[in-house]
Structure 1
């Protein structure tokens, strides 16, 4: 039986690709770090496919309280439900790929759930983003798929999952041998709420091309029956209605600030926008603007006494997919309200506090900036 795959190009030429070993274990590790979707999230959970956020490669694992790191885990990811996912990589020609790697992983898991400080994990994620010149907040928003994501709530969920032992252990290799498969199936059936799986990533090369084919191994129907859903259970605050939110804001911030928020709300409604209350621990009002080519979220009215121009949610909306156009908005807000924003504001949420909007003339100045903002989005230039 041929161990190869065949690709037919648009010009009807056939490319034969043969199964080959990875040149190095480091290459496989790097591929997983840069392309986390190789971890077959739709196979891990077909109903609610998993998405992976890389915390770090070579994540230190302490062996005692306050320890700097006794071991080094190949990769630490979290999924969209904040479930820590430990990944250990071995090539088929590494003889440890059968039993020793299991002992290693259990060491990492047993100590990580006890000794990993959540704040250190969050800081490590931010350092990982900085190494690739990515904005950590934006990366997390994209991972969660929610423009109203509450970051603190997400990291608290990661901490809860970790302390409860609600983790996922993933063994990755180009060949998963039967001995490792049986061990993984046994552990996955016995361990709860932890999950143990193996991922075989076959590697094919030919004519300068490289193809990777992931295959999940170790899940059994009995294990799935015992465990139920693979995702973490998260507790979210009941969603408020708009009027409930204003009542809550009045109690939290006072009638004056609630009135300013109401004026801002009314202005966006007059623009034909939809406004919803977020489900975060500190709920906000988020504005949805529908335009000719889709929709975006141009503003957020926050419960901490601020209203923000949400440039981070128009990054793919013309003309504000241009950093120069976003800088114009930031500069205008600075000139008008005397605010000083850092460089990240062009990809973030430059805000104006309610305290600067108490006079009707100040509100009108903000609305004038937003009117230009909205008009440019609607015409796309």
Structure 2
């Protein structure tokens, strides 16, 4: 069988193009970054083709909370539903393209879903846009196809997907070997809500032209049956009412922690804030604080029994748009509750276990820290 393709020009001349290796791995990476549609979004989801938004090339992946980048992922994209899509690229000539690359990707995914601060990802996207001389908000609205899109809601969705493990791992190579294909098929059948796929991009050259032919590999009918599809709608959890969420917390943790969470809920309600339960496999409740200049999401409680002070979601609210103000909150939490956070958690979500807040005196100390935060946001100073 001939490993070539033929292009017929308008003048009826024929261009014969032969399969050839990519000149370098960097070239393939650059092509994916410049032309994300190569990731065959219509093959990934035929009923609702995926569109890709590049967050960054060489995205740093921390190995601990607040840590610096321990690894470097080739590409991080998000699709139009805010599903983070991790892409690792290897040429066929790289012998690691079979097993070692799988271990690398699992390292990136396992740590990224836990340690990537959402605001840091958003800032990385803004830097990527700035390097390309594009406005980040305009680029995102174009990606979503809606000029009136709620961008804050989109980024919250990315965060929910990430924390729920609702991600997509994509292995890209010019040749996908049978060994990698079998591994990908196995992982995709076993992992949920995460999705694992491989993409083979055949490369043809001839007469100064270059042709790329992507082919999705790794999907099986059994995997699709088990997952029931992998869209945001199908993997999102049910929309719980607040009382239902507290009942689930009591079941998954215990009644004492649920009671403590209820008192935290009541405190925020007394501040005039709205409370929303996220749609995720492991939903949390989030506090929405409205102020004169907009709104932010300063706190929440997770089903794993952690109380969150969401510094990453107050970074656009004065005075917490400065790292100094966020560090002050972080240091107060560390000093008050004997917690140890890395410096980067000033851009993330420091947590305090519900178990430490069951005594009224401990809760009052947290409320004092939060009260200062609320007052400063509302005053804008």
TM-score by length of 1: 0.62
In structure 1, the partner of 2:228 is 228
Looking at structure 1, the residues matched to 96 and 114 of structure 2 have their Cα atoms a distance apart, in angstroms, of 26
1:97-136 mapped onto 2 (5 Å cutoff):
97-136=97-136
Looking at structure 2, the residues matched to 134 and 87 of structure 1 have their Cα atoms a distance apart, in angstroms, of 23
1:16-35 mapped onto 2 (5 Å cutoff):
16-35=16-35
CA displacement, residues 259-284 of structure 1 (integer Å, 9 cap, x when unaligned): xxxxxxxxxxxxxxxxxxxxxxx9xx
Q: Over aligned residue pairs, what C-alpha RMSD do you find? A: 2.1
In structure 1, the partner of 2:356 is none
Change (3 A) 1:140 1:304: farther
In structure 2, the partner of 1:208 is 208
How far 1:229 moved relative to its partner? 2.4
CA displacement, residues 64-115 of structure 1 (integer Å, 9 cap, x when unaligned): 0101100000000000000000000000000000000000000000000000
1:1-381 mapped onto 2 (5 Å cutoff):
1-233=1-233
Looking at structure 2, the residues matched to 304 and 153 of structure 1 have their Cα atoms a distance apart, in angstroms, of 19
Q: Secondary structure at the match of 1:67?
A: coil
Q: Secondary structure at the match of 2:69?
A: coil
How far 1:230 moved relative to its partner? 1.8
Q: Secondary structure at the match of 1:42?
A: helix
How far 1:304 moved relative to its partner? 8.0
Looking at structure 2, the residues matched to 304 and 145 of structure 1 have their Cα atoms a distance apart, in angstroms, of 29
How far 1:228 moved relative to its partner? 1.5
Change (3 A) 1:125 1:231: same
Q: Secondary structure at the match of 2:17?
A: strand
- What stretches of structure 1 of length at least 5 have no aligned partner? 238-251, 253-281, 283-302, 307-381
CA displacement, residues 307-351 of structure 1 (integer Å, 9 cap, x when unaligned): xxxxxxxxxxxxxxxxxxxxxxxxxxxxxxxxxxxxxxxxxxxxx
Looking at structure 2, the residues matched to 223 and 25 of structure 1 have their Cα atoms a distance apart, in angstroms, of 30
Change (3 A) 1:69 1:117: same
How far 1:34 moved relative to its partner? 0.3
In structure 1, the partner of 2:331 is none
How far 1:231 moved relative to its partner? 1.5
TM-score by length of 2: 0.62
Q: Secondary structure at the match of 1:160?
A: helix
Q: Secondary structure at the match of 2:47?
A: coil
How far 1:220 moved relative to its partner? 0.3
Change (3 A) 1:128 1:235: farther
Q: Secondary structure at the match of 2:230?
A: coil
Looking at structure 1, the residues matched to 16 and 85 of structure 2 have their Cα atoms a distance apart, in angstroms, of 35
Looking at structure 2, the residues matched to 66 and 304 of structure 1 have their Cα atoms a distance apart, in angstroms, of 31
Runs of 4+ more than 3 Å apart: 234-237, 303-306
How far 1:148 moved relative to its partner? 1.1
If asked which structure has higher relative contact order (CA below 8 Å, sep 6+), I would say 2
Looking at structure 2, the residues matched to 146 and 229 of structure 1 have their Cα atoms a distance apart, in angstroms, of 25
In structure 1, the partner of 2:379 is none
Looking at structure 2, the residues matched to 236 and 98 of structure 1 have their Cα atoms a distance apart, in angstroms, of 38
Looking at structure 1, the residues matched to 74 and 238 of structure 2 have their Cα atoms a distance apart, in angstroms, of 32
Looking at structure 2, the residues matched to 88 and 223 of structure 1 have their Cα atoms a distance apart, in angstroms, of 21
Change (3 A) 1:304 1:38: farther
CA displacement, residues 142-183 of structure 1 (integer Å, 9 cap, x when unaligned): 111111111110000000000000000000000000000000
Q: Secondary structure at the match of 1:70?
A: strand
Change (3 A) 1:166 1:235: closer
Aligned pair count?
243
- What stretches of structure 2 of length at least 5 have no aligned partner? 240-271, 273-287, 295-381
How far 1:15 moved relative to its partner? 0.2
Looking at structure 1, the residues matched to 71 and 231 of structure 2 have their Cα atoms a distance apart, in angstroms, of 27
How far 1:45 moved relative to its partner? 0.0
How far 1:209 moved relative to its partner? 0.2
Looking at structure 2, the residues matched to 45 and 99 of structure 1 have their Cα atoms a distance apart, in angstroms, of 26
Looking at structure 2, the residues matched to 138 and 147 of structure 1 have their Cα atoms a distance apart, in angstroms, of 8
